[in-house]
Amino acid sequence: MNRSNVKNIACISVDNTKTFEEKNLNELYVNEWEKAAQATKELIEACKYYGITTINILEEHPLGHISLAANYKNKNVFDLITYDEVQAWTEEDNGIGERAEFTLSELKKFLSEVGSQRLRPDHAIEKTEGVELTQPLEEEDFDLKIIKGTNPAREAYSWFDETTLDEELKKREKKILLMSWVATDYCLGKTALDAHKKWYDVYVISETIRGVAKETTDAILQTMQDEKIQFITTKDLFALLSKYPQK
């Protein structure tokens, strides 16, 4: 980053919502979310001070979403469903539950593309408490809001998948992305890697990220490091931003 490109920076906060950060919801709780949310708030405030665009990204699933275990007859949370498994399913005899909002053909098509899907508990369900921002973050902290995960027939961890994110960034001539969010081991990793492939200059802000599980978090962090994704502390970032004039 240099003093000539502050207008090309966007700060992206992903999934700082109650589905990941309210333990009593029993959805997909992320440990130490409070530290990540507070660090994100400080990051957002610093970015707004310097006139950097702030973007709030969150997922909102329909109740019948393809990734939710409750939409299958004989599946439990965190079970794996595979393409090989569903190939023999027929319209008359299959494992899709009554609540599902996807068809058998859609399920087969999706799994033929990805191979398998780890099934999740109900989480980030549209029009529920789970999709609300957690404190201290507030709606007015952000210049733009983008929603993902609304297609019941697809799971999309990357925020570039079936959203307007890339279009909005290009329209605003953003080339440098400051990224903060939960959960590191899923949406963060996939989005950062996709952004890197699209030639964005990606900075993951270390204090603002937390994962669901240590093993998967460590694995995706290693993958990002192998791909030369840049990690930076808030202290170092604020030192860089201090070289820019206030907006």
Which residue's structure tokens are 């369900």?
A: 125
* Full DSSP string of 6-51: GGGEEEEEE--BHHHH-GGG-SS--TTHHHHHHHHHHHHHHHHHTT
If asked whether residues 225 and 139 sit together in one domain, one would say yes
If asked whether residues 43 and 74 sit together in one domain, one would say no
- Report how far residue 63's alpha carbon sits from residue 73's, in angstroms, rounded to the nearest whole number: 15
- Report how far residue 127's alpha carbon sits from residue 36's, in angstroms, rounded to the nearest whole number: 24
Structural domain contains residue 246: no
Structural domain contains residue 17: yes
Which residue's structure tokens are 């440098």?
A: 176
The pLDDT score that the predictor gives to residue 140 is 96
Q: Which residues pair with 205 in a beta bridge?
A: 232
Domain that holds residue 20: 6-61+124-241
- Report how far residue 230's alpha carbon sits from residue 151's, in angstroms, rounded to the nearest whole number: 31
The pLDDT score that the predictor gives to residue 200 is 94
pTM of the predicted protein model? 0.90
Structural domain contains residue 1: no
Phi, psi angles (nearest 5°) of residue 151? -80, 115
If asked whether residues 175 and 114 sit together in one domain, one would say no
The pLDDT score that the predictor gives to residue 241 is 86
If asked whether residues 78 and 193 sit together in one domain, one would say no
Structural domain contains residue 139: yes
- Report how far residue 79's alpha carbon sits from residue 81's, in angstroms, rounded to the nearest whole number: 7
**Final residue belonging to a domain, choices 118, 150, 184:** 118
What would the mean pLDDT of 26-42 be, rounded to a whole number? 88
212: CATH: 3.40.50.850
What would the mean pLDDT of 88-99 be, rounded to a whole number? 97
The pLDDT score that the predictor gives to residue 176 is 93
What would the mean pLDDT of 126-130 be, rounded to a whole number? 95
The pLDDT score that the predictor gives to residue 1 is 62
Residue 3, pLDDT > 80, answer: no
- Report how far residue 27's alpha carbon sits from residue 155's, in angstroms, rounded to the nearest whole number: 17
How many domains, the chain?
2
If asked whether residues 17 and 79 sit together in one domain, one would say no
The pLDDT score that the predictor gives to residue 179 is 92
The candidate with the shortest Cα–Cα distance to 110, out of 119, 97, 98, is 119
If asked whether residues 45 and 79 sit together in one domain, one would say no
Which of 30-34, 85-89, 136-140, 243-247 is predicted with the least confidence, judged by mean pLDDT? 243-247
Structural domain contains residue 206: yes
The pLDDT score that the predictor gives to residue 2 is 55
If asked whether residues 49 and 156 sit together in one domain, one would say yes
What would the mean pLDDT of 21-38 be, rounded to a whole number? 87
Structural domain contains residue 151: yes
Which of 21-30, 49-58, 112-121 is predicted with the least confidence, judged by mean pLDDT? 21-30
Reduced to 3 states, what is the DSSP secondary structure of residue 83? helix
Q: Predicted confidence band at 145 (pLDDT cuts at 50, 70, 90)?
A: very high
What would the mean pLDDT of 220-226 be, rounded to a whole number? 89
If asked whether residues 81 and 57 sit together in one domain, one would say no
What would the mean pLDDT of 212-227 be, rounded to a whole number? 87
If asked whether residues 160 and 211 sit together in one domain, one would say yes
The pLDDT score that the predictor gives to residue 153 is 97
If asked whether residues 110 and 190 sit together in one domain, one would say no
Structural domain contains residue 247: no
If asked whether residues 80 and 151 sit together in one domain, one would say no
What would the mean pLDDT of 190-206 be, rounded to a whole number? 91
Structural domain contains residue 42: yes
If asked whether residues 50 and 80 sit together in one domain, one would say no
Q: Predicted confidence band at 46 (pLDDT cuts at 50, 70, 90)?
A: very high
